Amino acid sequence: MNSKESCRSELRIAIRQLSDRCLYTASKWAAEQLMGIEQDPANFTPSNTRFQWGSSSIRRRFRTNEITSTPIAGVSYVSTPVMEEDDAVDGDFYLLAKSYFDCQEYRRAAHVLRDQTGKKSVFLRSYALYLAGEKRKEEEVIELEGPLGKSDSVNCELVSLERELSTLRKNGSIDPFGLYLYGLVLKEKGSENVARTVLVESVNSYPWNWNAWSELQSLCTTIDTLNSLNLNNHWMKDFFLASAYQEIRMHSESLAKYEYLQGTFGYSNYIQAQIAKAQYSLREFQQVETIFEELLRNDPYRVEDMDMYSNVLYANECSSALSYLAHRVFMTDKYRPESCCIIGNYYSLKGQHEKSVMYFRRALKLNKNYLSAWTLMGHEYIEMKNTPAAVDAYRQAIDINQCDYRAWYGLGQAYEMMGMPFYALHYFRKSVFLQPNDSRLWISMAHCYETDQLHMLEEAIKCYRRAANCNDREAIALHQLAKLQYELGRPEEAAFYYKKDLERMEAEEREGPNMVEALLYLATYCKSQKRFEEAEVYCTRLLDFTGPEKETAKSLLQGMRTTQSGFPLMDVEHFSP
Amino acid sequence: MAGIVKPPGEFSITPHKVSVCILLQIYAPSVQISLPFPFASVAQHNRLGLFLLALTKSCDDILEPKLDELIGQLREVFGVLNPRFIDHLTTRLSALSSPDDLFNFFSEMRGILGGPESGALEDEQVILDPASNLGMFLRRCILAFNLLAFEGVCHLLTNIGVYCKEALSSCASYETTCFEDSSSNLEAFPEYENMDLENFVFKKVTEEIEARKRASERVSFHLHAPKALFNLVEDIEAPADPKSKHGDKVGEASSYVHPPDYALREFEPNSGIFLRTNWQIQGYLQEQADALEKNGSSFSLNAFELILRQLHKLAPELHRVHFLRYLNSLCHDDYFAALENLLRYFDYSAGTEGIDFVPPASGSNSFGRYEIALLFLGMMHFQFGHPKQALEVLTEAVRVSQQLSNDTCLAYTLAAICNLLSEIGVSSTAGILGSSFSPLTSIGISLSVQQQLFVLLRGSLKRAESLKLKRLVASNHLAMAKFDLTHVQRPLVSFGPKASMKLRTCPTNVCKELRLSSHLISEFSFESSTMTTDGAFSTAWLKNLQKPLGSAILSQENGSGSNENAFQFCVQPSSIPGPVLQLIGSSYLLRATAWELYGSAPLARINALVYATCFTDASSSSDAALAYVKLIQHLAVFRGYKEAFAALKIAEEKFLSVSKSRILILKLQLLHERALHRGHLKLAQQVCDELGVLASSVTGVDMELKTEASLRHARTLLAANQYSEAAAVAHSLFCMCYKFNLQVENATVLLLLAEVHKRSGNAVLGLPYALASLSFCQSFNLDLLKASATLTLAELWLSLGSNHAKRALSLIQGALPMILGHGGLELRARAYIAEAKCYLSDPSFSVSENSEVVLDPLSQASVELQVLEYHELAAETFYLMAIVFHKLGQLEEREEAANSFKKHMMALENPLDDEDPLFNVL
């Protein structure tokens, strides 16, 4: 691992440079990571350090010896030289433009910089133009929303930006930030391959721009494209890979990466949240909850990722904790999609589905592509028995992201509810294809096959088998398997599965009707197979339960004793557990 | 949101409408303007009025013309006489450079509307009655403008800028004048005090235009293949719209109308910034769907997909786009894309859009109609040849529509199941069809597939009749006819004293059903006006102009223009909806098939001809191809191969790439037939194998083709004198036909078996087969086949020895009227030869006394066989003739016949002497 110190110094410079270029998200991210590095109390007091980096003279001094500051540690990390800053030729213009930019007056900022040629100025001007175009586009979408639903409004700056940036790139007078913007523009235009190359170029020459990494990540939807990227071995690459793995559902790989990164960035909230995300996908809710509790303790006004926490709380049915969380985010920022989503979850848990839908709708108004809100809204509609609306919501989710197995699953459920199991099967198939290790999906699919209308029991058995193989928490699969095998007239297989189910229940110390059923079946089966000893064991265990089964067990025992008079009663009691 | 259908189209103001308004102002200048526009003549003024009328009528059209197109039209209409309009138009348009100009413009427009109170008028003043067409249009425009928010006005302004700019850049000569105009205009209006502001606005507009242009270029950039798109779009235009050519011929009448190939130009990447109304797009989609249905494979998959995808981007709530994408991928056999799009369509639309189902009587229908999705999914599986899934899905559709009491859907589903069952060989339905809809299964009686199909058909028909679904009734009648044609009706329940049933098919029933199905047309002619589906009508007006006379369509067919009057209904294309015409057309096709089976060649031919001449316009291209196939087959049988191949060439050109398989199959059939006749056995075998490969490998699918292939296989083996192999193939074919209940085919197979035994010299073995075939033919009323079976029977008797010659002769003479009336060349020749042989082998017959009796048929046969190039039989004929001549002592004729015999034998033995040009085509 890189030495913490070098990471720290790299980040410090990067934050400056990023916020100089008004790449606020990236600089926020970098700053979070900077604070995430374990502090070395021996060196400086933190306040001192921060004060020092504030003055430009020190920055300049630092830049001169930055090459020595990159470590030559044993790990094969590529040392990326921090880029040269422009001299402050166009400094005054730049300062004015940046102030305008900070006040979100993008076109004004661009206008101020119209004749400046420094790299920094060029970037800021293009970036301001890009943002102005985006803003106008958003407005136009609303203005032009005609009878066709959506207008073809586009960011009208894209063409000129692309032209300018591509010339710059050809001349070789483009800096990594310009490359990032170029990549962004290309991506918007739909030429993804070129965008990918350009972004790779950008991150290779300036790895600390998290914006570029996340754009790159959104362009890597398969493992193949990810592997084909030619990336320098910088520690930022680990962050990138971890997040990319997560996106393509390689959760354990992603988890491993994050845990490795935690070695350096021990206090990073970001990493913690990402670990929580991975754990959530692996359905380790308990751990997720602890992580989030800690996160909230450190960072009480955090809204990011809190929707996931609310999902966990929802799954664990902690309505008071959920209400507390909802209140907190509501007070922090009520117009964040996450906040709305959390409130929606809360109402859903309370069974007030109309209200819940209202909040999900609000979340979607704030962010039309908010995947989980679509899916959750679908769930709500299912609860409200409004299947067409649910289908619509799920379908929207799928059209945003083809790989959302929850939405496919929801669609399947909706159609099954409408009594169209055969139609639903297609959707279930899609969802198990995307998430083959989720027993719930397999069980739902098996249910579908089992319905009276289809009655395709062989297929159902296959599904249950898959479910049983992937850690079926509710232990439905084994029981169903046994029952189905019995129905199909295969007593041996049925006995096998009943036995397995029984073992499982014993291991988890659960009792219930399933246990009785298993015992009863096994007893009768063993008796019919003339394995009286075993049969007696099961019968005696049955005697511990109340109900009609007890009587059946008694009569079974009696019957066996009459046929086998050699067996004393004492032995039976001896076998009982 | 699912279930919410947007109200069809609003009247939105577009630059084109602004142009029309300007022209209106020229036509009817307001009172305030002192100087009316100088017209050269009254006629010209009137002409402008007519032109404006045409423009306003087509303002709901899918596409609006661009400015240069409008100018072009103006030029065309007015000739070179008065280009001042055009200048005026462009000047006015480019003078609109600030929102205020637009406000002023529209308030000026209000002035040209004559109010009810404007009594005192000057003589030559043209007033626009607010209730007239033009007045209404103007009022709608003004209203639409007044409803616009400021943003809307800004967008209109930008659009006008682009509209002008496009026109100007497309013809450079205008550029200068127009810019001069605009600047001079600025000076001409002294009320604009703040010139700088004005200039600024103008500059901004042009900037924005630039940006817009770039932005619209972006689309093509995104699609990666603008060039390709263009080309493909042109691709589509060419075959999809043959009518446009006729439209051009009409000339003057249609010059007011935009040519139809606009329809696709809208989606060219660099247009399309004007929003179309929902209605217009729906109309476009409807048109495309019809076109897809008609000749699907002539659409290029990717080009159309690109258009649709772009459309989807523009109008994500227009779900019918997904349906079109489904249709498109269906036409191109892309199973996965089809499935994906179908599901997506129904997920979004919940089955409440775009299908002309009668809305359920019970108003509350919040649950969507997903049963329709099932119905479509079932039909899709059927199309792709997955009968099992199709049946599964359709059964589910039946269940769900019963649950939701959607009777309409149920009726359609039942019809679909019937179709499935009749098309696809299913050996048993046990466990597939639920017991829910068959009243008999509840009694516990298991029915055969055929009986079940019959019950289903009856039920479906009844349901459709009670729901008044006329088209479904008609198609059910057709299905019924199809069923009656090939199935013997047996009592469904066989208990009690057996009713005496004659086990025959009932041709009268078939005729009855067919007639009933064509009643549809009279019903539709009464209520034609109500049948226009939304959006289709906005273009119907144009279409009507394009074909003012139906003759253009009719006369393009092979010279049978004389039929026109008999089928007047074709002349009014809009009065009868396409699907109805299609159904009626298929009833004619079915008629042709029925007569083919019953053995009346002329009637079959006439019906196919009727179809080819009257219905090709409305029908799908595969149906049209079927009609052509029938006609060509007829040609081959009655006129020999030369003519058939010539006709085939024409058909191939006509159905270039369209429904290729059907034409391809026909070609293979003809090639095989000819190869057999000429004795090219290797080639025959090869062609036969090719034919077999075309069939799907799934059991029960493509039964017709499979039977055909193995029948031909057996015949090839027979021709190669491999009797036992031929018999084995025929036998297994018989088993298959029996399993899948293909009774009509059974008769043919049995006849073939008899033939095999006859050729192998086992006449005794052959007799029962021939007799069995005869009885099959009798019960299915296959008269021609019966005649041919009788002939075979006679031949068998004859080969048993000369003492049976009398019996054989009487058999042949019984069959002769049928054979001579309806039989093809080969059959006739065989009958002649057999007759002659009978006479010759009869010991009591003397050649010298009655030579004509033998020689006439033989010479007749020789002529026909030479046409067919059937060397083997021809050689036999000449052999017999030579013998007869020898007996008569006519040596010269004998030598001639012997020579011919030799020639044919040589041809038979050296089959490869002439290279077959047609085989290379394969």
For the stretch B22-52, pLDDT in tens is: 888 888 776 655 555 666 677 777 888 888 8
Q: How confident is the model over B568-586, as pLDDT tens digits?
A: 333 334 456 667 777 788 8
- Taking only the tens place, the pLDDT of each residue in A116-126 is 888 888 899 99
Neighbours of A332 (CB within 10 A): 15
* Residue for token pair 């020789």: B862
Please check whether residue B344 is in contact with residue A395, taking contact to mean a CB–CB distance below 8 angstroms: yes
Tokens 């050699």 belong to A566
Most confident of A182-196, A550-564, B252-266, B289-303: A182-196
Cβ distance B315 to A150 less than 8 Å, yes or no, reads yes
Half-sphere exposure of A568 (CA within 13 A, CB side): 3
Cβ atoms of residues A366 and A340 within 8 Å: yes
The H or E element spanning position A328 is helix A319-332
Distance (Å, whole) CA B380 – CA B327: 10
| Interface contacts A/B by beta carbons within 8 Å | 129
The region of weakest confidence among A463-467, B517-521, B793-797 is B517-521
Asked whether A373 and A344 are in contact (CB, 8 A), the reply is yes
pLDDT of B267 strictly over 60: no
Query: Which two tokens mark B649?
Result: 């060439």
Q: Which two tokens stand for residue B336?
A: 């996965």
Q: Kindly state the percentage of chain A with pLDDT values over 70.
A: 86
Burial (CB < 10 A; 0-12, 13-18, 19+), residue B921, is exposed
The 3-state secondary structure of B525-546 reads: HHCHHHHCCCCHHHHHHHHHHH
Tokens of B572: 């009014």
Cα four-point dihedral sign A554, A559, A562, A566: negative
Mean pLDDT of B546-562: 32
* Higher per-residue pLDDT: B422 or A237: A237
pLDDT of residue B213: 45
Q: Rounded CA gap, B5 and A348, in Å?
A: 29
Lowest mean pLDDT among A425-434, A494-503, B515-524: B515-524
* Cβ atoms within 10 Å of B118's Cβ, excluding its own: 11
In angstroms, the CA B685 to CA B919 distance is: 13
**B489 half-sphere exposure, CB direction, 13 A CA radius:** 19
- Cβ–Cβ < 8 Å for A86, A120: yes
- What is the average pLDDT across B469-477? 80
The most confident of A86-95, B195-204, B913-922, by mean pLDDT: A86-95
pLDDT(A23) > 80: yes
Per-residue pLDDT averaged across B619-636, rounded?
Answer: 83
A158–B348 CB contact, under 8 Å: no
- Percent of chain B topping pLDDT 90: 3
What would the two tokens of residue A198 be?
């350009």
**A189 vs B366: CB contact, 8 Å cut-off?**
no
Q: Which of residues 386-425 of A touch B (CB under 8 A)?
A: 386-389, 391-392, 394-395, 399, 411, 415, 418-423
Looking at the DSSP assignment, which residues form a beta bridge with residue B128? B113
* Distance from C-alpha of A470 to C-alpha of A491, rounded to nearest angstrom: 24
Q: What are phi and psi of A568, to 5 degrees?
A: -75, 160
Contacts of B314 in chain A (CB under 8 A): 148, 150-152
Please tell me which of the candidates A158, A395, A423 has its beta carbon nearest to residue B396: A423
Q: Three-state SS for B911?
A: coil
Distance CA B581, CA B569 (A): 9
* Whole-number Å distance between alpha carbons of B876 and B881: 8
Tell me: pLDDT of B877 over 60. Answer: yes
More confident residue, B406 or B545: B406
| Residue B367 to residue A418, Cβ atoms within 8 A | yes
Say which range, B17-21, B143-147, B510-514, B647-651, has the weakest mean pLDDT: B510-514
Q: A321-330, A421-430, A475-484: which range is least confident on average?
A: A475-484
Residue B838 binned pLDDT confidence (cut-offs 50, 70, 90): confident
**Average pLDDT score over residue span A243-259:** 89
Assigned token pair, B578: 């396409």
Q: What pLDDT is recorded for position B99?
A: 83
| Average of per-residue pLDDT across B254-279 | 40
Do the beta carbons of residue A220 and residue A244 sit within 8 Å? yes
**What's the average model confidence in pLDDT over B742-769?**
88
Q: Which is higher by pLDDT, B143 or A71? A: B143
d(CA B607, CA B594): 10
* B128 DSSP assignment: B
Q: Which residues on chain B are in Cβ contact (under 8 Å) with A157?
A: 211
What pLDDT is recorded for position A198? 92
Question: Residue B423 carries which side chain, given as an amino acid letter?
Answer: E
Of A156, A160, A391, the CB nearest to B2: A391
Lowest mean pLDDT among A136-150, A542-556, B255-269, B632-646: B255-269
- Mean residue pLDDT across chain B: 70
What is residue A377's predicted lDDT score, i.e. its pLDDT? 93
pLDDT recorded at residue A348: 92
Continuous H helices in A103-221: 106-112, 119-143, 158-171, 176-189, 192-205, 210-218
Q: Is the model's pLDDT at B555 over the cut of 60?
A: no
Taking alpha carbons only, the member of B463, B397, B456 closest to residue B429 is: B456
CA B285, B287, B292 angle in degrees (round to 5)?
90
The region that residue B220 occupies, defined by phi over 0 for left and psi between -120 and 50 for alpha, beta otherwise, is: alpha
* pLDDT of B150: 80
- Looking at residue A51, what is its pLDDT? 37
Please name the residue that has the structure tokens 């077999």: B692
Q: What pLDDT band is residue B10 in, cutting at 50, 70 and 90?
A: low
Identify all chain B residues contacting A129, using CB atoms and an 8 Å cutoff.
Answer: none
Question: Cα–Cα distance between B841 and B799 in angstroms, integer?
Answer: 10
Of A268, A212, A257, nearest in space to A1 by CA: A257
The C-alpha of B284 sits at a distance from chain A's nearest C-alpha, in angstroms, of 14
Cα gap A35→A353, rounded to integer Å: 41
Is pLDDT above 50 for B673? yes
The SS3 call for residue A430 is helix
The closest alpha carbon to B400, from A426, A425, A417, belongs to A417
What is the DSSP code string of B802-859?
Answer: GGGHHHHHHHHHHHHHHHHHH--HHHHHHHHHHHHHHHHH-TT--TTT-HHHHHHHHH
Produce one character per residue of B757-782: b if its CB has 16 or more CB atoms within 10 Å, e if not: bbbbeebebbbebbebbbebbeebbb
* pLDDT of A128 higher than 90: yes
Q: How far is CA B540 from the centre of its chain?
A: 19
Contacts of B548 by beta carbon, 8 Å cutoff, 6+ apart: B250, B253, B254
Whether the CB of A190 is below 8 Å from some CB of chain B: the reply is: yes
Q: Mark yes or no for CB contact A189/B1 under 8 Å.
A: no
Q: CB distance B215–A399 less than 8 Å?
A: no
DSSP H/E element including B588: helix B578-598
Q: How far apart are CA A130 and CA B518, in angstroms?
A: 65
Characterise B468 by phi-psi region: left (phi > 0), alpha (psi -120 to 50), beta (else).
left
Q: pTM of the prediction?
A: 0.69
Predicted local confidence at residue A540, as pLDDT: 82
Q: What pLDDT is attached to residue A88?
A: 54
Contact by Cβ (8 Å): A194, A225: no
For the cut 80, the answer to whether the pLDDT of residue B808 exceeds it is: yes
| pLDDT(B120) > 70 | no
Contacts with B800 (C-beta within 8 Å, 6 or more apart), sequence order: B763, B764
Percent of chain B residues topping a pLDDT of 70 = 66
Q: Is the pLDDT of residue B551 over 50?
A: no
Distance CA A145, CA B654 (A): 45
Nearest CA to B342 among B303, B387, B393? Answer: B393
pLDDT at B241: 34
Q: Is the pLDDT of residue A213 over 90?
A: yes
- What residue has token string 């063409």? A159
Residues of B in contact with A422 (CB under 8 A): 374, 392-393, 396
Residues B161, B164, B170, B174, CA torsion sign: negative
* Mean pLDDT of all residues in A310-336: 90
| Element containing residue A340 per DSSP (H, E) | helix A337-349
pLDDT value of position B185? 38
Residues pairing with B113 in the sheet: B128
Q: Tell me, what DSSP letter sits at residue A208? A: T
Which band of pLDDT confidence, cut at 50, 70 and 90, is reported for residue A577?
very low
- pLDDT score, position B656: 67
For residue A42, the model assigns a pLDDT of 53
Phi-psi category of residue B433: left, alpha or beta, with phi > 0 → left and psi -120 to 50 → alpha: beta
Say if residue B696 is exposed, middle or buried (CB neighbours under 10 Å; 0-12, 13-18, 19+). middle
Q: Which two tokens stand for residue A360?
A: 């999900």
Measured CA angle at A229 (ends A227, A234), to 5 deg? 100
Taking CA–CA distances from B368, the nearest residue in chain A reads A388
Averaged pLDDT for residues A316-321: 89
Burial (Cβ within 10 Å: 0-12, 13-18, ≥19) of residue B57: middle
Nearest to B370 among A159, A389, A420 (CB): A420
What does residue B128 show for φ and ψ, rounded to 5 degrees? -100, 110
Q: Which residues of A touch B393 (CB under 8 A)?
A: 422-423
Average pLDDT (B473-498) is 68
